[in-house]
Structure 1
Amino acid sequence: MTGKTRLRWVYRASIGTGMACGTALGLASPAAATTLNSVVLDAPYVTVSFRDTYPNDSDSTLVLTPKSGGGEVRRIRVAGEVPSVNRTVVKRVNAGISPGVAYCAVVETTTRAEEGIAGRFGGTFTSNRTCSEAAGSANAPAEVSIGSITGEENPPAGTNRNYWISYSNSGADAKGVTVDVQTSGSLTMRRPPESGTFHGMQCAASGTGFRCSGGTLPKGAKGEIPLLAMVKNAGPGAIHATISVAGDPNPGNNAQTLGVIAVPRT
């Protein structure tokens, strides 16, 4: 091997080793630290839902840009460190946005440097981009959700009990809403709710519970729908409730479960 050939070989080996070390040290750019699920505009407020996927996050900022271009870009801190990973954060903030204006959004997440030889440098990483129409516009989405399920958590076996499932719509008017309620374990349904009573929904027995469909929830509407339940026996049971409507941008708040422990009747 000549001197020049040896030098070329040493140079190439050094570059390859450096690249391997860089990869081992974690210097390559990580994937986006957050996944932006949805943005709901209700001037001056914004409700944002995003999923953190990076372990060393320290701060998350919502960046809003008018969809039509121009106008003021708004930056609002929506979270500090999000514990663990794959945690979904839902935050409603006063962003000072203008009524009737559509915005596009990203979430910028700042990360700390990881410790140890294999750590990565910290930095700021940008989520995917999502655009949303202003509340009240023809293209604005509905945003329905299931709230709390209330009722006795230790019902006596062999008795009848009523439970209440709350629901709401924080987005544009919602048409064709469906609520599905199922029971399990020690609970079973006695009969479905009366049709047409709860925002026009038509209710019928389905599975171990009931399904109500065809409802219309105006913006800001809230309600409760009853589960008329029978406690079959002592032991654990549960009520599972979901709500759905076409175009809902935030399905993460569309389900709720209440667990019960039925006790022997005295």
Structure 2
Amino acid sequence: MAIGLASPASAASLVSVVLDAPYATVTFRDTDTRDQSHTLILTPQNAGGESRRIVVAGEVPSVNRTVVKMVNAGIRPGVAYCAVVETAVKGEDGILGSFGTTTTSNKVCSEGAGSANAPTDVSIGSIEGEASPQAGTNRNYWVSYANSGADAKGVTVDVQTSGSITMRRPPESGTFHGMQCAASGTGFHCTGGTIPKGAKGQIPLLATVKNAGPGAIHATISVAGDPNPGNNSQTLGVIAVPKA
């Protein structure tokens, strides 16, 4: 009776791939300490196109670390591709050590920017404002947001505070890409935004510095069908100083 060898487990988990020809942005999680290199393989979803192979990373230190890379993949505009990450895994030392091998991640398919079914890609950028505000004063902070994918409708933004920072009042409704904002928790929650492809904006947090000490501002953006959640949140830490 022949003894079959078990298929090796994948050494990478593909989280998302965003296409904007000729570039591709890939997000994957490394799951093996012996990885040597990670290659993105893009294959047109419909038959008749050429696959693309691009080395996106070498060895990733530690395990379960998420890697985000944008590469010039030479893909065609308006074309849907399916992606996998192929990982080269080195062998183990010793007589009983395993041989080196290559594993393939799960598959993720994505529409290219410009196609009728292209996905949105909303994101939170920097949160700007004073890092060491004075206790007992009012300060304004600005949360940057953007959409690098298809037009996004029904966008929500949630901004919360903690520690020495608290919200004074929510931003004016309807002003920031049509978002309707109301107080929620320790901050505000906005719904119903419409952000066209390539649009950027900033929404304010009108804050009060209630006491000296550490504080933080936490911002999250979301929309249905966003395939790249890794860029949807941001936190700014501050250290409030005593009032002079």
* Aligned sequence identity (%): 79
Q: Which residue of 2 aligns with 1:155?
A: 133
Q: 1:158 to 1:29 in 2, by over 3 A?
A: same
Structure with more helix by fraction: 1
Aligned residues of 2:166 and 2:187 also touching (Cα < 8 A): yes
* Equivalent AA in structure 2 for residue 104 of structure 1: C
CA distance in 1, matches of 2:62, 2:22: 31
The structure that has the greater radius of gyration is: 1
Aligned residues of 2:164 and 2:214 also touching (Cα < 8 A): yes
Q: 1:115 to 1:102 in 2, by over 3 A?
A: same
CA distance in 1, matches of 2:31, 2:59: 12
Q: What do residues 118-162 of structure 1 show as CA deviations (whole Å, max 9, x unaligned)?
A: 643221110011111121222211011111111111111101111
Matches for 1:15-30 after TM superposition, within 5 Å: 29-30=7-8
* Equivalent AA in structure 1 for residue 171 of structure 2: P
CA distance in 2, matches of 1:80, 1:72: 24
The range that moved more, 161-170 or 174-183, is 161-170
CA distance in 2, matches of 1:44, 1:96: 5
CA distance in 2, matches of 1:220, 1:106: 27
Task: Say if 2:229 is the partner of 1:231.
Answer: no
Q: Which residue of 1 aligns with 2:68?
A: 90
| Match among 186, 194, 199 for residue 221 of structure 1 | 199
Task: Say if 2:43 is the partner of 1:78.
Answer: no
In the TM superposition, what is the alpha-carbon distance from 1:176 to its structure 2 partner?
Answer: 0.5
In the TM superposition, what is the alpha-carbon distance from 1:50 to its structure 2 partner?
Answer: 0.9
CA distance in 1, matches of 2:130, 2:96: 52
In the TM superposition, what is the alpha-carbon distance from 1:114 to its structure 2 partner?
Answer: 2.9
CA distance in 2, matches of 1:29, 1:65: 23
Matches for 1:13-92 after TM superposition, within 5 Å: 29-92=7-70
The range that moved more, 46-55 or 181-190, is 46-55
* Equivalent AA in structure 2 for residue 221 of structure 1: A
Superposition TM-score, scaled by structure 1 size:
0.87
Q: How many residues align?
A: 243
Q: 1:127 to 1:156 in 2, by over 3 A?
A: same
Matches for 1:189-228 after TM superposition, within 5 Å: 189-228=167-206
CA distance in 2, matches of 1:175, 1:221: 12
In the TM superposition, what is the alpha-carbon distance from 1:116 to its structure 2 partner?
Answer: 5.0
Root mean square deviation, CA, Å: 1.8
Gaps of 5+ in 2: none
